[in-house]
Amino acid sequence: MKFDILTLFPETITSYINTGVIGRAQNTKQVLSINVHNIRDYTTNPHKKVDDTPFGGGAGMIVQLDPVYRTLMKILKDNPDTKKHIIFFKAGASLFNQSKAISYAQDFNHIIFICGRYEGIDHRVEQYLSNESLSIGPYVLTGGELPALIVLDAVSRYVPEVLGNKESIKEESWLNGTTNEYPQYSRPRSFQPEDPHIVDATAPNQWDVPEVLLSGDHAAIQKWRNEHSS
């Protein structure tokens, strides 16, 4: 799977995509290809200026159409045969969810993200240079970089070989009718904190793993997990 990210602040992207699961999938397994493009590199302005005041007046500065167009054209010319989907991030657009993550991974092999900044991007980018406008929630952010990383991460999990354990996506929350995963525990089976009430005044003095998870009874364990996922 190939990703291209158009941004004015590439440094906010690069540190994340080179660490953890995403970093291994890109740099070691090479099942992801993630390219970050600085929109400033494609402006014709000698001072690398990419924003201007909005026509009609108003507060703030608007990212101009021309450098975004030039950046996108370079990507499209370099990748003529990929099955692409271009996503423009903006507040108030349709909300991203798990079903979209799966469909993107299944339907496309090349996803392009356009990250806005300042008061927004010239509307013609959304009109003529994107396939879909997307939001990650009912709030306003300072830019589209965080949404791009969230969508990239969620989609990548459904690309074959990205996850080390294929079983990890078989019991996904948000897909089986629940919005919560069951609680999970690891060693030690019993923990005696120095101050058990440091956060919760009602916490017990000893924090134990539920006995059913130590029983070896797979049917009972599954029943407990189902009950605690609803």
Every domain of the chain and the residues it spans: 2-167, 182-230
| Residues 171-189, mean pLDDT to the nearest whole number | 71
The mean predicted confidence, pLDDT, of the chain is: 92
Q: What pTM was estimated for this model as a whole?
A: 0.85
High-pLDDT (> 70) share of the chain, %:
93
pLDDT for residue 58 = 82
pLDDT digits (tens, 9 = 90+) for 8-31: 999 999 999 999 999 999 999 999
| Residues 104-110, mean pLDDT to the nearest whole number | 98
| Residues 163-172, mean pLDDT to the nearest whole number | 62
CATH architecture of the domain covering 2-167: 3-Layer(aba) Sandwich (3.40)
Residue among 98, 71, 85 nearest 175 (CA):
98
High-pLDDT (> 90) share of the chain, %:
83
d(CA 22, CA 138): 26
pLDDT for residue 154 = 97
pLDDT for residue 99 = 95
Q: Please check the confidence at residue 146 and state whether its pLDDT lies above 70.
A: yes
| Residues 56-72, mean pLDDT to the nearest whole number | 92
pLDDT for residue 85 = 98
| Residues 106-128, mean pLDDT to the nearest whole number | 93
d(CA 129, CA 133): 11
Do 162 and 29 touch, CB atoms closer than 8 A? yes
d(CA 6, CA 74): 11
Residue partners of 100: CB distance under 8 A and separation at least 6: 134
Q: Please check the confidence at residue 164 and state whether its pLDDT lies above 80.
A: no
pLDDT for residue 170 = 55
pLDDT band at 90; cut points 50, 70, 90:
very high
pLDDT band at 168; cut points 50, 70, 90:
low
Q: For the CA atoms of the chain, what is the radius of gyration?
A: 23
pLDDT band at 38; cut points 50, 70, 90:
very high
Q: Please check the confidence at residue 182 and state whether its pLDDT lies above 90.
A: no
Do 96 and 150 touch, CB atoms closer than 8 A? yes
